[in-house]
Amino acid sequence: MQLRVRALLFWAILSISLALTLGIQFLPAQFQLREGDVARQTIKSPRRVQFVSQVLTKQARDEAAARVADIYAYDPALATQQVQKLRNLGDQITAIRQSTNLTDEEKQVQLSRLPETGLSPEGVAAVLRLSEAEWNQVRNEAVRLVSEAMRSRITAEQVDALRQQLPMQLSPGLSPLQARVVLELAQAYIVPNLTIDPAQTEAAREAARRRVEPVVVTVEAGEVILRDGEVATPLALEKLAATGLSSGSIDLYQLGSVGLIAASLAAALSLYLAVFEPRTVLSIRRFGLLAVLILGAVLAARLTIPGRPYYELAFPAAAVPMLAGALLGPGVGLGSLFALTGLLTLAGSGTPQFVVYCLVTGLMGLLAARSTARTHHFFLAGLGVAVAGLAATLGFRLIARDLEPMSLGILAFLCVVNGLLSAALTVGSLAVLGHIFGITTGSHLLELADPNQPLLRRLLAEAPGTYYHSLIVGNLAERAAEAVNADKLLVRVGAYYHDIGKLVRPGFYTENQAPGENIHDRLDPRVSVELIRAHVTDGLELARRHRLPGRVRDLIAEHHGTTLIQYFYHRAKELGLNVSPDEFRYPGPKPRSKEAAILMLADTVEATARSARSHTPEELDAIVDRMVALRIAEGQLDECDLTLGDIERVKQALKEGLRGIYHPRTEYPALETPSQRELPGLPEARDGERP
């Protein structure tokens, strides 16, 4: 029940925090501009958006419509009509020419008044000067030219060119006077027989408009929409509206989508941790640290990546799984990597290349930083991050067939920067975060393993038997931890400090007593058990006073579990005291981790083997089998995550360790010691002097 509540709490806190971090970009706008206004500051897009631009779509459709040529309608009857009009005009001119009631001046006036003759004043005068035969020749020639010209399809733009070609089509034998009149008459009756059809032309243009797809505009996060001093254009105003910078209201769709995705990723991470890493969910400090790492990375990406595509490759996303793996365990690091990758796609560009890049570099960093005891391990992990990132980036470049040397050099440089930043951030933050959140780091454990630590020096001086017992237990436990992939450094340091409580009363413990004396022989077993049991609580008090890490304190508290202190219980029974087993048990709790269980078994078998009379390999193996079986029967390993296979590997490691400690030694024969006189080169001793 508590695990479920903590998992829900973690999900709620992380979801709300992520929604707030990522949702800042969807707050109401603060820019109110109209077309033609001058921007008073540089305006950048707060996020990446895509929208259909009405401005560009209309422009593209208008351009498509403009490319459609006019559609013409051909009138085949117009040629006949024009020829007939010309003949009618010829009849009228002939009638005026042949009139006997008109003077030449009156004829000229009458000819000038005829509509659509095309004759100039000089042409009118020429008509009257022609003989009847010449005039008939002119009439026929003009009709021929018009009839031939009007057989073609003629647009308004082609009329002038066609009229200019008429002189070259005149029949030979015409006088200049005749040619003048023919050309003036014919040119007037050559007209366009192709006219624009407005309905069909507009229909074709509308169809062209419809064929143009809406223009989708992408505005990248951080892209400059308007620079300080620029005039606001319709397209710029559209971008402001699309990015929510001029709407004056919250973009609920965008905010809802981001919130839903963030909540989904947080839920997946919470469920993963609840199933596979429950200790992280149950510890406020641990899940607080994980939340800080994820939120810090998302916020950093949100502030640095948008509008700067190359920053993606230098962004040290791998530092989060490296830190989470080092401080909280590889399982937590792996879960944080996948959740963070999804979140960074929202904060950054969201391209497939960025997703793959984050996954590859994060996995490489997590794998390479498995060992956190030495600083150089993290820089080796940073090198792995750089190589993995470069390989992934080159893969995408090969897909795009973009292998330009200068560009590849920049990419390689950015990948190296990513690796160095990831390593530097991990090294620089590890100790600080471990101290703030009370989480043990490898470097801290190495410091505690130094024999010059005050508590260890006191243990050596005041309780030497306990000190050497702790060293042996440390060696045994480390070997066993390595066999089951537990934290061997933690279990070794825990072994060094597990009995520091004996410093309070070192003489009450067998390993620190002189041979043949035991103070407990003079004490009531109930008093003795309280004194023995107190070394756990006294050890915890010393650990708190010396600020030992919480995981080491857990090992001190759990290394005896709730086992029965059998020696004093049986002694009490022998004395006829009315006691119950619970009065002679350690307070616990039982081991809750692999490391605590390993330490309990190593401590038990070492103490038992040390008190055994025989140390043959068979006897040592029997001791290990018997003591492990006893602890299992007592239920001391019920709350740790050791499997049956792990227990077998631990047993084998303990057996090998004990055999190494108690291996048989060759018995050397007694050597005779020569007297001083038998040693060559030494002066003979005088009376009163010792050799």
Q: What is the pLDDT of residue 647?
A: 96
Of all residues in the chain, what percent carry a pLDDT higher than 90?
Answer: 35
Instruction: Tell me the fold of 445-661.
Output: Hypothetical protein af1432 (1.10.3210)
Q: Residue 102 pLDDT more than 50?
A: yes
Q: Which of 25-39, 517-531, 540-554 has the lowest mean pLDDT?
A: 25-39
- Quickly count: other Cβ atoms within 10 Å of residue 84's Cβ: 12
Q: Could you report the per-residue pLDDT of 532-569, keeping only the tens digit for each?
A: 899 999 999 999 999 999 889 999 999 999 999 888 88
pLDDT value at 633 more than 70:
yes
HEC letters along 423-477: HHHHHHHHHHHHHHCCCCCHHHHHHHCCCCCHHHHHHHHHCHHHHHHHHHHHHHH
Domain ranges of the chain: 72-196, 252-432, 445-661
Share of the chain above pLDDT 70, in %: 91
Which pLDDT tens digit goes with each residue over 325-339? Answer: 888 888 999 999 999
pLDDT in tens, 224-279: 888 888 888 999 888 888 877 775 555 667 677 778 888 898 899 889 988 888 88
Answer whether residue 399 shows pLDDT above 50. Answer: yes
Pick the more confident residue, 451 or 307.
Answer: 451
Distance CA 214, CA 553 (A): 67
Q: In which band, very low, low, confident or very high, does the pLDDT at 645 lie, cut at 50, 70 and 90?
A: very high
- Residue carrying the six token digits 């905010």: 255
Alpha helices, DSSP H only, in 67-164?
A: 77-98, 104-113, 121-129, 132-149, 159-164
Give the pLDDT mean for 353-362: 90
Residue 491 sits at the vertex; the CA angle it makes with 364 and 382, to the nearest 5 degrees, is 20
pLDDT tens-digit map of 453-472:
999 999 999 999 999 999 99
For residues 298 and 25, give the distance between their C-alpha atoms in angstroms, rounded to a whole number.
13
- Give mean pLDDT, residues 190-217: 90
Judged against a pLDDT cut of 90, whether residue 381 lies above it is answered with no
Residue 511 has what pLDDT? 82
What pLDDT, on a 0 to 100 scale, did the predictor assign at position 24? Answer: 64
Look-up: residue for tokens 């089998």?
625
pLDDT: which is higher, 117 or 205: 205
What's this model's pTM, rounded to 2 decimal places? 0.61
What CATH number belongs to 252-432? Answer: 1.10.1760.20
Beta carbons within 10 angstroms of residue 533's beta carbon: 19
Q: Which residue has the tokens 């080796």?
A: 380
| pLDDT value of residue 63 | 93
Q: For residues 159-167, give the mean pLDDT.
A: 88
The whole-number pLDDT of residue 369 equals: 66
Chain mean pLDDT for the chain: 86
